Amino acid sequence: MSLLLHPHSRLPARRFGVPFSRSSRSPSCLSFASARSVLPFLQDKAKFYRELEAAVDVVERACRLCVDVKKFLLSNDDRILEKNDQTPVTIADFSVQSLISLELKRLFPSIPLVAEEDSGFLRSSSANLQNIDGHDGNYLVNSVLNAVVDKATVSDDPLTANIVLDAIDRGGINAVSFDAQPATYWVLDPIDGTRGFVKGSDALYVVGLALVVRGEIVLGVMGCPNWKMDTHTSGSHDKKTAKSETGIIMIAHAGCGTWTRRLSDAADNLLMVQGGWKQCFVDSYYTVQEARFCIPDSQTWDFIPLSALFSATVDDSECRDNSTILLLPTCCGSLCKYLMVASGRASVFLQRVRSQKEIKVWDHAVGVICIQEAGGMVTDWNGTRLDFAADQEHRRILYPLGGVLATNSRLHNKILEMISSNFSIV
């Protein structure tokens, strides 16, 4: 583990340049906390309408938190940490998990949370810094506290560092134990694609939240602040319009389809109307040669069984023959690939299981329902649906045979056959 911090840097008790106090919160933040998103289908059509409405609200707030924190991080690279598994984690990861945990507990106190982070790393980092001359060790925790306060629902009881840290731990592995019986719980990936988040570029990253009820994913919300909307959605190409169409939120509810709209910004958060949603569907390609593929950033094409049958190119301008497929340029995080398939920008997402790396539920749960409700399919390489209750005690690990396959459904059986003929699934 390494901790990338300037040993004598110190974060003042200010929120992104604003003095830290409850009275200093901006009017837009107060109005957003009380705003309710109008969903694109009637309430009597969706059993979990209220839960989805709350999920949209808090994911959108979390995305805005990410944008604010990223601006701060770009000029303060010492706010980037590295966990034991060598994946970067930032103030935003902890802040998003705490914010969403607090809001969901306030609205649905009986529903537990399964999430990626816990506060142990943050607490130990602060404790280690106390041994350095000139440090009280609290500025990392204070950074998280300040970011959460900025986006949390206003309450008469002020948030404290301990409340924020405990909210992070509500999603940790020791927070709740399950058993073999069906359960209801939230699944959260606070930032999927943290490597992209810390690049300081337009790399894609996603805030992903899903609700599991009796072993079935019933709703999901993905927010992607850097997603570029299709150019044909606007009749204007001026810079102002292009900027306003960066960022997307995708929702899915069992039996109600998958829908997208652009992320609202502070200026229009009270203007969200039903007409802003657009139903999305997977693409219609039915031959492997014309399909567009995604694979994990950590894997190469020769690691995928289809490489025995097809070579891959990332250049769509190349003349492709029947032995070459198009591999879309990598974007950080698994949920980005799910978003691409569900929106019709990609046809297939393939991920091979590696013995040394566990498959985590938060990297897949929300993506599964978004693809399914958009008309696609998600299974393991044996054609079996992903079992989100396979980890009976903690509900944190998936055990797909061979790997994960997400497609537009037309290609699913064809690719399964190709995999089985070139790969031994055990």
DSSP string, 77-146: GGGEEE-TTS-EEEHHHHHHHHHHHHHHHHH-TTS-EEES--THHHHHHHHHHTTSTT--S-HHHHHHHH
Q: Among this protein's residues, is 287 annotated catalytic? A: no
Q: How far is CA 342 from CA 82, 159, 237, in A?
A: 31, 37, 26
Q: Among this protein's residues, is 316 annotated catalytic? A: no
Which strands form 348-352's sheet, in the order they lie side by side? 311-313, 324-327, 292-294, 348-352, 403-407, 377-380
Integer Cα distance of 151 and 65 in angstroms: 7
Q: Strand 184-192 vs strand 113-115: parallel, antiparallel, or unpaired?
A: parallel
Select from 275, 223, 217 the least CA-distant residue to 48: 217
Phi–psi pair at 266, nearest 5 degrees: -60, -30
How many residues are present in the chain?
426
Integer Cα distance of 272 and 35 in angstroms: 9
DSSP state of 154: P
Look up residue 305 and give its two tokens. Answer: 């069984």
Which residue of the set 90, 169, 194, 330 is catalytic?
194
| Residue 87 and residue 194 in contact, taking contact as beta carbons nearer than 8 Å | yes
Report the amino acid identity of residue 341: V
Select from 288, 300, 299 the least CA-distant residue to 418: 288
Integer Cα distance of 408 and 374 in angstroms: 8
Which residue of the set 93, 118, 189, 192 is catalytic?
93
Please name the helix (run of DSSP H) or strand (run of DSSP E) that holds residue 217, with its range, or none.
strand 216-228
Residues annotated as catalytic are: 93, 194
